[in-house]
């Protein structure tokens, strides 16, 4: 039976000798979060960590995850690798990227991905929207009393600039709200 496309790359992972460790990437993204068969994320994360990856980013690439799914997945993965080795990358197709990222942060993950104006997408998931908007993430973090060092006004200007250059609308709720104020 053929493996689903998303598992082909994962199934090809092989143990490597320490002599070749210098040629391996030290940061790897796993792009499957959410409903899945078995312990895929846990096993792959453990394997990557044992191969020397110091940061493993777990991604909800098609944006179907929820905070509950994020919590369950991270709880399971954290039993296999240290929390300090984990990062998350959430897409916003169902409007859950900010909530999923907050859940990860509350669980202790300290590395999260976002993009200005929420730019991005998924080439193999037609209709999937972009990433978590950095403007929304910074606004939330500042509202929680977490100093980011990011000037939100300058970030909004950068988002406006790139959206005009690309002739695209922003996905940032903060940018949309501040344009109407």
Q: Of the candidates 74, 119, 68, 67, which has an alpha carbon nearest to the alpha carbon of residue 97?
A: 67
Q: Which positions are catalytic?
A: 122
Q: Where are the domains of the chain?
A: 5-113, 134-181
Q: How far is CA 101 from the centre of its chain?
A: 8
pLDDT higher than threshold 60 for residue 138 = yes
Task: Provide the pLDDT confidence category of residue 23 given band limits of 50, 70 and 90.
Answer: low
pLDDT at 20: 47
Contact 118, 172 (CB under 8 A): yes
Query: Per mean pLDDT, which range of 12-26, 78-92, 154-168 is the poorest?
Result: 12-26
pLDDT at 179: 79
Q: What is the mean pLDDT of residues 8-33?
A: 49
CATH number of 5-113: 3.20.20.70
* CA pseudo-torsion sign 5, 81, 51, 27: positive
């Amino acid at each position: 039976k053929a493996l689903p496309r998303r598992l082909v790359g994962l199934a090809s992972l092989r143990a490597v000798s320490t002599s070749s460790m210098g040629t391996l990437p030290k940061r790897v993204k796993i792009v499957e979060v959410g409903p899945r068969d078995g312990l895929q994320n846990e096993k792959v994360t453990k394997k990557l960590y044992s191969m020397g990856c110091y940061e493993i980013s777990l991604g909800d690439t098609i944006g179907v995850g929820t905070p509950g799914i994020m919590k369950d997945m991270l709880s399971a993965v954290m039993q296999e690798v240290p929390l300090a080795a984990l990062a998350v990358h959430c897409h916003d197709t169902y409007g859950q990227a900010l909530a999923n990222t907050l859940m990860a942060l509350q669980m202790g993950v300290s590395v999260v991905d976002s993009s200005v104006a929420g730019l991005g997408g998924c080439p193999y998931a037609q209709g999937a929207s972009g990433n978590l908007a950095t403007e929304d993430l910074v606004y939330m973090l500042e509202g929680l009393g977490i100093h980011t060092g990011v000037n939100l006004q300058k970030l909004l200007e950068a988002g406006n600039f790139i959206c005009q250059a690309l002739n695209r609308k922003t996905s940032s709720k903060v940018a949309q709200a501040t344009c109407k104020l």
